[in-house]
Structure 1
Amino acid sequence: MDIPGDKRLAAAVVMHEGRVLLVRRSRTERFLPGVWGVPCGKLEPGESPADGVLRELKEETGLLGEVVRKVGESSFLSEYHGHEIKNWQDNFLVRPLSRHVTLPEPDQAHDWLTPDRLHTVDIDEYNLDIVRQALTSF
């Protein structure tokens, strides 16, 4: 079995007219099923975090975006077939260049929430911290 090493990820805090885009993960996801958060995903080999965050945004929401700036970094541990993996994540503030959100799974949902309404969905502290990083630098 190929044991993965550290993973690099990038997350997009998409802001439009004072609202943040949050997406609910599919209930079939292995990692954090049904949890709300910002669009995020693994970088491809050789891909820059800024390019990766825009690719992931397009794959996960159908939106085109433009990186405004990097707002911070995060890390977390996950498990893959009994092996602990360290995940390193670059977080970006992103301006949407399109508006129509298209989600890949039918049981997913999305919402544009003002910062004071983020608590109205099942968002974890990790994703809240990513949004706070972006709002602090906004």
Structure 2
Amino acid sequence: MLEVEVRQMATAFLIHQDRVLMMKKAKSKIFHFEFWGGIGGHMEPNELNYPMEASYREIEEETGIKKDDIKNFKLNYILLENNSGEIRQQYVYFGETRHMNVRPSDEGELYWISKNELSSLYTSKMIGLTLEHYLTHTNNTPNILLGAMMTNNESKPEIQWSIINETFGF
């Protein structure tokens, strides 16, 4: 029997006017080259049922931005991906900041990137497709979208999106 490890992560994209806070990393466990991502990381064992709290913790640790400086913080996406036999579940939040003041991070370099420049950054395929989806949809709905990485008939990676509806009591 093949045992599959599950890795849970929380990621945030903070917006100030028309700019998104992105982190440029020299390399990671996945990539051995420079790439871009949001603010976040692996959830601690005590955060597994509280991904929003994990996200707030990561934001403060990596940027210095405090919870009180963020408004309209919302879970927009839950992403699933099978990567080398490991299931990765990522909770992706978007929110607005009152200011652009960040402190240097040990995790990577922080930059405020114009929304229309995001598609030119080298990101993971999953994050790139998620940002593209977010920017091309008004996303003012209360829905949370579940995204699963798939390969289409041309062997091109894509995300299959599904709305996670609230359950209705019967």
TM range (shorter): 0.7 to 0.9
Letter in 2 for 1:132: E
Q: Deviations over 1:24-70 (max 9, x none)?
A: 1133x323242111112111113101101111112222222436211
- Which residue identity lines up with residue 29 of structure 2 in the other structure? R
Tell me by how many angstroms 1:133 deviates: 4.5
**Does residue 30 of structure 1 match 2:29?**
yes
For 2:76, the equivalent position in structure 1 comes to 71
State the match for 1:61 in structure 2.
63
- 5+ residue gaps in structure 1? none
Q: CA RMSD in A?
A: 2.5
Identity of aligned residues (%): 18
Counterparts of 1:113 and 1:68 in 2: how far apart (Å)? 19
Q: Give the equivalent residue in structure 1 for 2:102.
A: 101
Change (3 A) 1:104 1:4: farther
Q: Is 1:126 paired with 2:126?
A: yes
Give the C-alpha shift of residue 18 in structure 1: 1.7
Q: Displacement of 1:97 after TM fit?
A: 4.9
CA distance in 2, matches of 1:19, 1:112: 6
CA shift, 1:104, in A, is: 2.8
Tell me the equivalent position of 1:8.
8
Q: Does 1:51 align with 2:85?
A: no
Contact 1:75–1:87 (Cα < 8 Å) also in 2: yes
Q: Which has the higher relative contact order, 1 or 2, with Cα contacts under 8 A spaced 6 or more apart?
A: 1
Counterpart contact for 1:92–1:134, Cα < 8 Å? no
Q: Does the CA-based 8 Å contact 2:10-2:90 persist in structure 1?
A: yes
Contact 1:24 1:109 in 2 (8 A): yes
Counting matched residue pairs gives 130
Kindly indicate whether the alpha-carbon contact (under 8 Å) linking 1:11 and 1:39 is maintained by their aligned counterparts in 2: yes
Aligned-partner residue type, residue 64 of structure 1 = K
Once the two structures are superposed, residues 72-102 of structure 1 have per-residue CA deviations (whole angstroms, 9 ceiling, x without a partner) of 11122345xxxx3211111111223553222
Preserved CA contact (<8 Å) 1:18 1:114: yes
Which 4+ stretches in 1 moved above 6 angstroms? none
CA 1:4–1:63: 2 relative to 1, 3 Å: farther
AA in 2 matched with 1:86: I
Shift of the 64–97 alpha-carbon distance from structure 1 to 2, 3 Å rule, reads farther
TM-score (norm 1): 0.77
CA shift digits 1:3-22 (9 cap, x unpaired): 98312111101111121111
